Amino acid sequence: MLNETHDPQRRSWLGAANEADGDFPIQNLPFGVFRRAHSSEAFRGGVAIGDQIVDLAAVLASGALTAPGLAAALGAAAESTLNAFMAAGPVAWSALRLALSRALALGSPRQRALGACLVPIREAELTLPARIGDYTDFYASIHHARRVGQLFRPERPLLPNYQWIPIGYHGRCSSILVSGEPIRRPLGQTLPEGVASPSVGPSQRIDYELELALFIGTGNALGERIAVDAAESHIFGLCLLNDWSARDVQAWEAQPLGPFLAKSFATTISPWVVTLEALEPYRLPWTRPAADPQPLPYLDSTALRHTGAIDIRLEVLLQTQHMQRAAAAPMRLSSSNFRDCYWSIAQLVAHHTLNGCNLRPGDLLGTGTLSGARPEQAGCLLELTQGGRQALSLPDGETRRYLEDGDTVILRGWCARDGAARIGFGEARAQLLPARLR
């Protein structure tokens, strides 16, 4: 539901928040956790606006926001992780976001008080927004599933269950990293083509995966399921996610139980969590082609059909070491849109809890690689290079089939349309470092 926080005419007294192409206008106000860089300060919650962070611990100490019932929400959001705030539920999330929107608006009498609580983003160290207890990665893009299936099963690209079930697997939350942290090329066991026995060594086929992820807010008790129409009230917000993959390791180990070491070595997420409320102006009807199987009743509803999709533009950029040395801008490899996803975020939550699985505040659910229908909308190198058979040509003469040491991968996401403020997600960025052999 739209409210005053979505007003595209609202301006902030912070000039950088009013830039037309900025990620963090006053209509966004994403939450994260930070401290001043190169300091021993405690991490605490913050909200991004323009090029600044509103230090929520400083706001709490200042007494600048004193609306009835707001103290508990502000106190929870100011903690060293956002878990308690996520657990507080949609009423608390919305109340704090509204109070901040009013306080940051042009003409607000709280400008001086909040102005003293700002920290420049460039001077901040950002960390994971929440203590992530569990991580599930889905396979929600049919374009990705079909294109990958054609590489390995050309006679039957989609398995029979794909159009009936949101497919997922349990990932490793201990190796989830925040944007900016480098990753190491992993070691793994592989069986190269034409070789009789496997060997251990650095993976030669490191790939990225362009994804979104949702943070669970309020959870559910063990044994209780979440209905599809209630699912979004349990979602705190979305961020970008790069599910790094060792494709050669994956090819050897994935049967019969699915991804393991090929996926667990690193996952990168963006530091700012964009609330579902901020994304309301970009809601779209969720559709399923008439010729496809329609969702079973627990995955379908009138509300889902009306507003279950979200128009989020996504892109992947690559900057090689050669490009970095030449001070060349990153090259865009592909772009896609979350609106084309086969399964919605509400359906992911509803299916995850169908068996009574209990989700908890701070749990992370990835969408899986978000590819579009056209080849240039592929969300990973596995698709773009046809399984490594077709090299990509870069502007400086380099080529890539998979990532090389020193490469930096950057994911970006944003919402934009006439009549609404641009809502950005920032970046999920990481550089691939050489394998550690000892």
351 carries an active-site annotation: no
Beta strands in 101-209 (DSSP E): 118-120, 124-127, 135-138, 168-170, 176-178, 183-184, 187-190, 199-202, 206-207
Q: ∠142-146-151 over CA atoms, to 5°?
A: 150
3-state helix, strand, coil in the chain (%, to 5): 25, 25, 45
Q: Which amino acid does the sequence have at 404?
A: E
How far apart CA 434 and CA 40 sit, in angstroms, is: 30
DSSP class of 157:
S
Nearest Cα to Cα of residue 355 among 223, 160, 217: 223
Alpha helices in 270-390 (DSSP H): 302-307, 321-325, 345-352, 381-384
Whole-number Cα distances in Å, 314 to 188, 193, 241, 242, 432: 30, 34, 11, 12, 21
In the set 144, 234, 351, 352, the catalytic residue is 144
Query: Which tokens go with 301?
Result: 């509803």
How far apart CA 101 and CA 41 sit, in angstroms, is: 27
Contact assessment for residue 173 and residue 264, using Cβ atoms and an 8 Å cutoff: no
Contact assessment for residue 213 and residue 364, using Cβ atoms and an 8 Å cutoff: yes
Query: Which tokens go with 315?
Result: 């892109």
Instruction: Using DSSP, state whether 411 is helix, strand or coil.
Output: strand
The enclosing H or E element of 46 equals strand 44-49
Residues with catalytic roles: 144
